[in-house]
Amino acid sequence: MCFEFERILLDRLGPGVTVIDEVTGFRYFDARDLLGFVDGTANPTGLDLPASARVGDEDADFAGGSYVVVQKYLHDMQAWARIPTPEQEAIIGRTKIDNIEIDDDDAPRKSHKSLATIEDADGNEYDILRDNMPFGRPGQNEFGTYFIGYSRYLWVTEKMLQRMYIGEPPGAYDRLLDVSTPHTGTTFFAPTRPMLQTLVQAN
């Protein structure tokens, strides 16, 4: 279905667009990424999902849409394999085999899981919807994760990335970045169908 959608979309857009990068992802064992850990465990579900991923009445002109951040990460799999499993688990913030969350509140260096958890000054947690896809070309020694995050508030994803790259406190960055390097990064706004129809009618 995705392939057919891409084909039809590019056919309709014709020379109006140029494809710069094309990544074909896939589902890996037990919803794991290529680093061996289950991905997307903290995704919102049920009624929490639209509340986390869709713009609400606080921004009526854009209500129902979603802010979408995408990034292409390439992994140094050999460097990752040299890291002992207990240290990998401390970096990710979950156990590798059974996907149990590790409490690192008192640790001097926070895990990826903790740095990607966003709270406001009152302790309210803000979720995003992640739909990350692993990808790879073993013949070219290329392995990675294509991060896709949908958020009601763009500042939530921006804060998450700030905590990963700068650290909390500053300098204590996400150790996952020692073996996982971003190669692209783009922010989109995904509008609702009525919004698109309004834009078409306005032109």
Task: List pLDDT tens digits, range 19-41.
Answer: 988 888 998 998 899 999 999 88
The size of the chain, in residues, is 203
Residue 203 has pLDDT above 90, yes or no: no
Choose the catalytic residue: 39, 104, 106, 127: 39
Q: What is the pLDDT of residues 167-185, one digit of tens each?
A: 989 999 999 999 999 999 9
pLDDT of residue 22: 87
How many angstroms separate the CA atoms of 152 and 35, rounded?
A: 28
Active site residue 178: no
How many angstroms separate the CA atoms of 167 and 137, rounded?
A: 31
Cis peptide before 84 (omega within 30 of 0): no
Q: What is the pLDDT of residues 140-169, one digit of tens each?
A: 999 999 999 999 999 999 999 999 999 989
How many angstroms separate the CA atoms of 98 and 96, rounded?
A: 6
Q: 85: pLDDT confidence band, cut at 50, 70 and 90?
A: very high
- Give SS3 for 162: helix
| Residue-averaged pLDDT of the chain | 93
